[in-house]
Amino acid sequence: MLSGVLAFRAYTRRMARDGDAPGDARRRISRRALLAGASGASVSAGLAAAASMGLLDASRGKANAGGQVPFWGAHQSGIATPPQRHLYFAALDFTTPSRADVAEVLQVWSAAAGQLCAGRAAGAPRDRALPPADSGEAADLGACRLTITFGFGPTLFESRGDDRYRLSRLRPPELAELPVFPGDRLDPERCGGDLAIQACADDPQVAFHAVRNLTRLSRGVAALRWAQAGFRSTDVSERGSHRNLMGFRDGANNLNPRHGTQMARHVWASREGPAWIAGGTYAVVRRIRFRLDQWDRDSLQDQSRRIGRDKTSGAPLGAAQESDAADFVSRLDGQLVIPADAHIRLASPASNEGARLLRRSYSFAEGTASGGGLSAGLFFICFQRDPRRQFVPIQQRLAQHDALNRYISHTGSAVFAYPPGVMEGDWVGRALFDA
């Protein structure tokens, strides 16, 4: 216990001296985490050891290289943040029966995430006879705009009728399990999770390093359930769109995360749910595999009609530019210019009673699929105020009628409540555990 506290005191003194004052709140929270971790009474040995690392010192090389996105703030970063190039997403399950352990690990994770997003290591250097506190692969990379975003799955609140953490009364109705959609080919090993860690960065190794070191910190308390890496191309249009692996520009008619009114209306939870989620949002993630061998044999004209946009320009069919509004009414030779089963028509607010999503998806390509061909597709991530009124009806419509369906299968799925952000020294989820 002593070594953890001493290391932490030395750490806060050093930070204060270097002008990076930690503040009373952080001192209080982190010390609590260290004390609890080091006591070993309620938290596993793994977490205790991690907490006693002196939580997080050693500057990670060029800490300012590649830009920093602060972990602290009113909303968690990684939602409205302009998308970085790489994603590493992990879903974990808590293995502990103790509510206190879960709260402790969230405190340790928040402190660690604050350090990692500032380009620092996940632990101070220590005795060479011990395993290094930080795994080291991001040592010279800087922050690379790393964001770490935490989410809570429905099973955190209640798992198979078991209210193990006494949280079930605080589960927002919006955080409902998703229904089964027509054509779903879900692999249970790529679905669900008590907790999500979404790490995004402009360097793939920085994103991976964040998840790797956070999962190390929770050893004995939480276990990895599934993980997914993703990437985006470097080419981003003025509309913020990028080409996904079907070769189409994705994101042209996305919500604009800089548009406060749109975000308040469609993305940020407000007073409709329990107080702890206000300022947070709900994420739906779907791993969608593309049958690229078949798609690549489809004609260019047909591909464009399936999406409803021109593959080269990104413009809605019948329009000239990517930014032009889609015209869902016009016909040519009696045929709708944007076909009835085109993806953008079925997904549009006009077809879904005004429902909109903030999409923040990443491509994946990872070896070969079990049935043959490349295992590649889209790790679809979307944010909204209420998946029951936004993702679910849109996906119902797409699952039934989307002209893309011949070429895709949904193989993974999860829904998470992303709590609001916190100020430096506080921890993500405290409002839930204090409620």
267 residue type, one letter:
V
56 SS3 class: coil
Tell me the closest approach of the beta carbon of residue 348 to ligand HEM, in angstroms.
Answer: 4
- Segment interacting with ligand HEM (CB under 6 A) among 95-103, 211-219, 241-249, 273-281: 241-249
Q: CA angle, corner 227, sides to 221 and 229, nearest 5?
A: 140
Quick check: 269 and 168 in contact, CB under 8 A? no
Q: Which of 77, 149, 155, 348 lies at the binding interface for ligand HEM (CB under 6 A)? A: 348
In the complex with ligand HEM, the residue whose CB is nearer, 37 or 387, is 387
Q: Give 36 or 346: the residue with its C-beta nearer to ligand HEM.
A: 346
300: tokens are 């260019």
Minimum distance, C-beta of residue 396 to ligand HEM, in the bound complex (Å): 9
- Contact call for residue 288 and ligand HEM (CB under 6 A): yes
CA distance 360 to 195: 19
Which lies closer to ligand HEM via its Cβ, residue 11 or residue 391? 391
Q: Which stretch binds ligand HEM (CB under 6 A): 91-99, 140-148, 187-195, 345-353?
A: 345-353
Which pair of structure tokens corresponds to residue 4? 């953890």
Q: What is the dihedral of CA 33, 36, 37, 40, to 10 degrees?
A: -170
Nearer to ligand HEM, 126 or 289 (CB): 289
The reply to whether 317 sits near ligand HEM by the rule CB under 6 A is no
CA torsion angle for 388, 389, 391, 396 (degrees, to 10)? 90
* Closest approach of ligand HEM to the CB of residue 251, in Å: 4
- Region 251-270 residues binding ligand HEM, contact defined as CB under 6 A: 251-254
Closest to ligand HEM by CB, 215 vs 254, is 254
Among 50, 55, 146, 326, the residue binding ligand HEM under the rule CB under 6 A is 326
Q: Which amino acid is at 39?
A: S
Site for ligand HEM in 100-159 (CB under 6 A): none
Distance CA 435, CA 427 (A): 14
By C-beta, is 310 or 426 nearer to ligand HEM?
A: 310
Which of 126/410 has CB closer to ligand HEM? 410
Give the per-residue contact string, 294-313, with ligand HEM (x = CB under 6 A; - = no).
-------------x-x----
In angstroms, give the least distance from the CB of 259 to ligand HEM: 15
Smallest gap from residue 414 Cβ to ligand HEM (A)? 13
433 scored as a contact of ligand HEM (CB under 6 A): no
Binding residue (CB under 6 A) for ligand HEM from 112, 186, 201, 246: 246
For residue 38, the one-letter residue type is A
Shortest approach of ligand HEM to residue 418 CB, angstroms?
18
- Binders of ligand HEM in range 387-416 (CB under 6 A): 391, 394-395, 398, 404, 408
Query: In the set 218, 244, 281, 304, which binds ligand HEM (CB under 6 A)?
Result: 244
Contact positions with ligand HEM (CB under 6 A) in 350-369:
357
* Alpha-carbon torsion angle 148, 103, 415, 380, nearest 10: 10
Q: Quick one: which segment of 161-169, 228-236, 245-253, 417-425 binds ligand HEM (CB under 6 A)? A: 245-253
| Number of residues this chain uses to bind ligand HEM (CB under 6 A) | 29
Report the distance separating Cα 382 and Cα 222, nearest Å.
25
Cβ-based neighbours of 101, under 8 Å, separated by 6 or more = 42, 43, 44, 47, 94, 221
Smallest Cα–Cα separation from 340: which of 308, 303, 304, 299? 308
Collect all residues with Cβ–Cβ distance below 8 Å to 37 and sequence separation of at least 6: 4, 43, 47, 48, 49, 50, 51, 52, 104, 108
Determine phi and psi for 109, rounding to 5 degrees: -60, -45
21-29, 47-55, 72-80, 239-247 -> range binding ligand HEM (CB under 6 A): 239-247
Buried/exposed 76-112: b ≥16 CB within 10 Å, e otherwise? bbbbbbebbbbbbbbbbbbebebeebbbbbbbbbbbb
Q: Confirm if 94 and 104 have CB atoms less than 8 A apart.
A: no
What residue ranges bind ligand HEM (CB under 6 A)? Answer: 241, 244, 246, 248-254, 286, 288, 307, 309, 326, 343-344, 347-349, 357, 378, 380, 391, 394-395, 398, 404, 408
